[in-house]
Structure 1
Amino acid sequence: MSVMSPRSPAKTPPAPPLLPALPRAGRRYLRLGTEDRDVLWLYLLTRAALWSIAYGARWLFPADAGTHDPGPVLAPFERWDWGHFLNVARDGYFPDGRGPWDAEWDNREAFFPGFPLVLRAVHTVVPHWTAAGLLISFVAGGIAVLALARIARLYLPDEGAGQRTVQLLLISPCAVFLAAGYSESLFLALALAAWLAAHRRNWPVAATLAALATTVRISGLFLAAALALHFVLTARTRAHWRPLPWLALPALPAALYAWYLHAYTGDWMAWKHAQERGWYRHFHAPWETWNTTWDSAFDQVLATGYAYMLQAELLAMAVGLALAVLLVRRRRWPEALYVGLSLWALGTSYWYQSIPRATLLWWPLWITLAAWTLRSPRFRTAYYCLATPMSTLFALTFLTGRWTG
């Protein structure tokens, strides 16, 4: 059986009826089996490992080497994008009439409102903002790994395929971002649940979840495109085509956000322009972006910390391109479209940014790696020996405030 090919119909249970059986089917899919519980146990263990690294980082790598106070216990997670999410959740996008017309503006409108809205809601119950953000990622991450395990079982016949796929995700180099108060866990929870619903031909639920994912990250639009292609490729009868209008739903949150920003700034492209001002995401040809990133990473034009992270960006892009080629060869067109759109969006800026983090959202990558590790013990050993220390290194890099140099 080829990698990333779904099981034959004879080996999988038939899809539930479209509408009449949804309540009972929903209850069945919410039940946790033995493998689901094993997945959650693995998830808890890896969370404990990351929190122990965060604890050690406070004591061993303080900003002031001579300090006797390690600082607040949650301080290691208050890094980089967390500040933008916090500002939006606490103060809104344009507090006190401030905005992109101010010289010291932080370009917070570059971040979609889904995560800040959830953060603000959870904060009404959990008064500490950072704790509220970590709780969101913790709960969403648990949902995401359960959905990922179930998706993996659709593609791989191997025993333990779901647990192995989740394991590879949770020890991946950038797994620390699934534990931090960032949007990756929340997006994955919604996107993977949407993909699972699409495989069960429950298109209203899939479209609704994809729309919610779009409120969290622009990648929700890439997911929506993949879902639409999956719909077209799998629709066989007139009844199958009836849910087609639902596929327009994921575009609504992005349109509403653009309208909201326009109302305050007069700019329909305010989100894109914030990305350009704050993160140099001006359009460049893909080969120009690669050359700029390569030169900055290896020509000693930047400090070593920045150069190292740009080297990681190059490696992540290479992995993404290889994955896209493999998906095309396997004729996994929807997944190839999803990964391809992500690579295009991330690979056409001034230089590469956030591609290692984006690998967390490429679930076909973790399913493919799971297939290889299940069928090749040597590959499994090699992957674990390389990925585990890299994951620890990246976690320390983030938790000590050195992620961007």
Structure 2
Amino acid sequence: MTESLVSVLFRDRRRFLLPPAVAWLVSNLITWMIAKASIAGDGASVAYWSTTGRRRWDSEHYLSIARTGYEMFWCRERYANFPDVMCGNVAWYPGYPMVFRAFSATGLSYGISAVVVTEVALFGMFAVLWWLLGGKLCWATGLTLATGTVFPGGIYFHAIFPISTGTLALLVCVIGVKRGSWGLSAAGGFVATACHLVGAVSVGMLLLSAFFAWPKDPWPVRFAKAAGSAVIACSGVLWAKWLMWQATGKWDAYEIIQESSYKQGGLHDPFSEMEKAYAFPFSDWYRPKGHLPWLVEHAQAAHQTQFWLNVVFVLLVLATAGVRLVRNRRLSTEEWAALILTAGVFLTPFLAGAQMSWYRNHAQMFVALILIPRMPRWGQAVLLALCAVQYALLGAMFFAGVLV
């Protein structure tokens, strides 16, 4: 019988938690070093350890949702020189801000609470991944954890964004289908969809789970569990829309602001969006003033190398799954779940037209690390090296203020 996560933790928690704890600490150390190398002057030492260093444009919206709830208004009502579009914070989901709002009951500020929730979720990601990998240290699992510390787009795992919380929820969803726990998979899906649009991929994975999960159940029960867990997961979006309706009186507040301010309503041609995202001139959009540290100077177009790395990563995951299917004629439940989620996470930002945020949305492909130990060791080593270089480049863009 598959041993539960809780029983493993309590049986020998120190030995089990040591590798995830080391990975979490290394991830923070690497990110701090990048922050220090990216900002000139005395501010380098505090850029990472302060909440200010972890905030970007969207962070302010999440903080405002936690403080005062949702709002939507015509921009010109408050800002005379602003374009005639909608303003407000209804373009952002409530799962993450509601979590750190609850945590702020400890007496910590909203900003500190947000960072604590982010870092706890990141540690949870490493712990859950470690359990899914079997909890045994070897070259394959060690290289996988190392890759997780410098995962593409993973700089946002440390920021005031819902990326680590949503990714943890996706991993919990995978645990649910692996263990045959209908409630756990539904709960993970609910949190994932309530945190971020990308979390909707959990709904698709749960619907398809009837074909690769719940093996002890007859087919009607499989379909019932798959559909039921998908419906509960989808209700995370309904909860978000209900909160927006309560504040604005409009059920379609999210769609209104997306179309008015961001031109992201409806489905887009993903290949056209990939081309636009690749060509988007980040260095022209914002370039820090004055002398730039070497790392920042060489990272101004890092979103382009990020795109190619993400494409290569997805192709490697697909190839690994294909080889396993040919050799073993099957994938495990968690491998199927990770494969479906990875493909969905990669495509969702381009289907939605997320021209300026795909690189952080793709960080939720972290779930694909479940498949990475199946790669040849040399392939894992090369992937780790590529990810480490790209993590430094994208991190430099983030701490220099180039990324939103």
Q: TM-score normalised to the size of structure 2?
A: 0.77
**Counterparts in 2 of 1:296 and 1:391: CA distance versus 1, 3 Å:** closer
Out of 363, 368, 372, the position equivalent to 2:366 is 363
Asked if 2 retains the 8 angstrom alpha-carbon contact of 1:327 and 1:333, the reply is: no
Distance 2:280 2:40 in 1: 32
Which stretch of structure 1 is more off in the superposition, 183-192 or 28-37? 28-37
Once the two structures are aligned, what percentage of the paired residues are identical?
A: 17
Name the aligned partner's letter for residue 288 of structure 1. S
Amino acid at match of 1:311: Q
Gaps of 5+ in 1: 1-13, 17-24, 64-68
Letter of the structure 1 residue corresponding to residue 264 of structure 2: R
Residue 301 to residue 159, structure 1, CA distance change in 2 (3 Å): closer
How far, CA to CA, are the matches of 1:229 and 1:43 in structure 2? 32
Whether the aligned pair in 2 keeps the contact of 1:145 and 1:166 (CA below 8 Å) is yes
Match of 2:356 in 1: 353
Is it true that 1:90 corresponds to 2:67 in the alignment?
A: yes
Alignment of 1:74 with 2:47, yes or no, is: no
1:175 equivalenced with 2:170 (yes/no): no
Change (3 A) 1:211 1:393: same
1:255 corresponding residue in structure 2: 238
Higher mean C-alpha deviation, range 277-286 or range 133-142: 277-286
- What amino acid sits opposite 1:180 in the alignment? A
* Residue 111 of structure 1: aligned partner: 92
Q: CA RMSD in A?
A: 3.6
In 1, are the aligned partners of 2:146 and 2:384 still within 8 Å (CA)? no
Residue type at the aligned position of 2:188: L
SS in 2 for 1:153: coil
- 1: CA distance, partners of 2:158 / 2:262: 23
Cα 1:187/1:303, change in 2 over 3 Å: closer
Task: Determine the C-alpha separation between the residues in 2 that align with 1:399 and 1:230.
Answer: 40
* Aligned 8 A contact 1:123 1:129 in 2: yes
Letter of the structure 2 residue corresponding to residue 194 of structure 1 = C
Residues of 2 paired with 1:290 and 1:26: CA distance? 38
After superposition, the Cα gap between the structure-2 partners of 1:113 and 1:230, relative to the gap in structure 1 and judged at 3 Å, is same
CA distance in 2 between counterparts of 1:302 and 1:254 reads: 32
Moved more, 338-347 or 193-202: 338-347
Distance across 2 between alignment mates of 1:181 and 1:75: 9
CA distance in 2, matches of 1:323, 1:114: 32
Number of equivalenced pairs = 368
1:40 to 2:21 alignment: yes
Change (3 A) 1:324 1:201: same
Residues 293, 185 of structure 1: alpha-carbon distance in 2 compared, 3 angstrom cutoff: closer
Alignment of 1:324-339 (within 5 A): 325-326=318-319, 329=322, 330=325, 334-339=337-342
Aligned residue among 200, 203, 209 for 1:224: 203
Work out the CA distance in 1 between the residues paired with 2:313 and 2:253. 28
Q: Summarize the Cα distance change of 1:246–1:129 in structure 2 as closer, same or farther, 3 Å threshold.
A: closer
Deviations 1:100-144 (A, max 9, x none): 334355441111101111121222224333222111111111111
Q: Is the 8 A contact 2:303 2:359 kept in 1?
A: no
TM-score (norm 1): 0.77
- Cα distance, 1:270 vs structure 2: 2.1
Cα distance change on mapping 1:380 and 1:207 into 2, 3 Å:
closer
